[in-house]
Structure 1
């Protein structure tokens, strides 16, 4: 009870919750730094996307970094998609709403171009991958690939980005990179389910149906719906394998992934 009154007093002193333990709210940022908000659409559309941009803009103002600029690039991409769709909605009585949303579209285009120019020479791995994947910049790709030997790509999402390059060139290496991404997850981390989808589709292409089934089963457990598990099961039965045993293997993998103890199958004693 004493804690409740203490928290309530803090909220009252800070202006009815406008600031909690030093963290500014969106409304407070917009009041203090209107330039961070006024170039975005002012209606209710794309509220989440706008809030993320405003918070990241504010954080980058306080302490600029390549990581925050990369975050802004992705956020403005999402915002551009959202506000572009909203701008197509016709308002018979409120034509100004369409104009307001077009302002957001123009802002997104301008900010993406500016951020791209500002980060063109960055050696941050995320930005190197961004400039290669978005603009086909070969210099960025060479620098990104060169980071693999330095250990700078030892993060799950960076291993996945590295796999994006090799998937059209070396499927076995792609599989190993995706396995390593799973090895790098720690207990409690949110796992990218696209890894399971990618592993299953690669094994299907290689006609390694039992492996494809294991990863399709895991993908389904992670709510991936694009794979036809029944169809893959039929292929498994055609090659004389027991889906039930494969599901047991998949359940063990899931347990290992969730506990941060996954080890690539090639390093385990059983073969399937």
Structure 2
């Protein structure tokens, strides 16, 4: 019963205020979570993410939630390190405070990393491989290939990154599978689009390369590496049918976002 009530409380917090996280409510009932870092106007989004990942784990401790904590702390630490480099002429203490916050976040990363060293959760196994080059973690991660545990978008993408230099065809299959497994409204990793486009660029399959670059542009218009100018130059340089390819790109992205995308044959 307590667990049910805890989840109901979490759902309320996450859905309050027009489906936006209500951080103020979290702080009212979980002061220790909000008091972890000194208040600052920078990195608010990252700090909120840390807060809710900690609440998630507090209400229902699990290896998956520990993974969410690690990613949240990493994002916050990275943001704070950047913010700490900005000097304040009149408020020098701001810089020191941000350094302290970054150090605190990095300390928590080390702590949670130590706690999860022996975990068999695929996300944590790949985390320990990618962050600490832990060969044993990689071996245990790869041993789960083909199992239900890895049949999710994140794990398929992680597998793809491992096979990138070993087996391009398998890499492409895994990237497509990662897209196929996305559910509606689930945040899509734009690096999947970049990786697919890169494979086709290297294979000199210019139509498919443009198609996935266009999908990336449609999904992430803020991406500075793929601009309208660069895409137009690509079309002109290779004399592509822009209208047709753009139409296919829109249809493909709509299917991915709707959770109806089917992996094409490789």
Q: 1:154 — aligned with what?
A: 151
Uncovered stretches (5+) of structure 1, i.e. residues with no partner: 1-18, 268-272
Specify the alignment match of 2:110 in structure 1: 113
1:155-210 Cα deviation digits (max 9, x unpaired): 12221111111112111111111111122223444433322222111101111112
Residue 97 in 1 paired to residue 87 in 2?
Answer: no
Q: Secondary structure at the match of 2:149?
A: coil
1:71-127 per-residue CA deviation (whole Å, 9 max, x = no partner) reads 111111111122222223333443333332222122112111101100111111111
Aligned equivalent of 1:260: 259
Q: CA deviation at 1:27?
A: 4.6
Query: C-alpha offsets along residues 115-164 of structure 1, whole Å, 9 cap, x if unaligned?
Result: 11001111111111110111111111111112122121111222111111
Equivalent of 2:84, from 58, 64, 87?
Answer: 87
Moved more, 168-177 or 225-234: 225-234
Residues 1:62 and 2:59 are matched in the alignment: yes
CA contact (8 A) 2:235 2:241 kept: no
Q: Quote the residue 1:201 is aligned against.
A: 198
The answer to whether residue 232 in structure 2 is matched with residue 230 in structure 1 is yes
* Partner Cα separation in structure 2 for residue 86 and residue 107 of structure 1: 15
Q: How far apart in 2 are the matches of 1:247 and 1:29?
A: 44
Q: Which residue number in structure 2 is paired with residue 142 of structure 1?
A: 139
CA separation in 2, counterparts of 1:187 and 1:95? 46
Residues 156 and 178, structure 2, Cα contact 8 Å, conserved in 1: yes
Q: TM-score, normalised by structure 2?
A: 0.80
Specify the alignment match of 1:164 in structure 2.
Answer: 161
Match of 2:182 in 1: 185
1:175 and 2:186 are equivalent in the alignment: no
Give per-residue Cα distances to partners, 1:23-49, cap 9 Å, x unaligned.
Answer: 496456546654433341223222222
Q: TM-score, normalised by structure 1?
A: 0.79
- Quote the Cα distance in structure 2 between the aligned partners of 1:93 and 1:256: 52
In the superposition, relative to structure 1, how do residues 95 and 251 fare at CA in structure 2: closer, same or farther (>3 Å)?
A: closer
Distance 1:29 1:252 in 2: 40
Tell me how far apart the structure 2 counterparts of residues 131 and 49 of structure 1 sit (CA, whole Å).
Answer: 22
SS in 2 for 1:123: coil
Q: Matched residues in 1 for 2:132 and 2:184: separation?
A: 35
Aligned counterpart for 2:214 among listed residues 217, 221, 224? 217
Counterpart CA distance in 2 for 1:182 and 1:46 is 30
Contact in 2 for aligned 1:39/1:103 (Cα 8 Å):
no
What is the aligned-residue RMSD (CA, Å)? 2.7
Q: Which of 105-114 and 179-188 deviates more?
A: 179-188
**Which has more radius of gyration?**
1
Find the aligned partners of 1:204 and 1:152 in 2 and give their Cα distance: 32
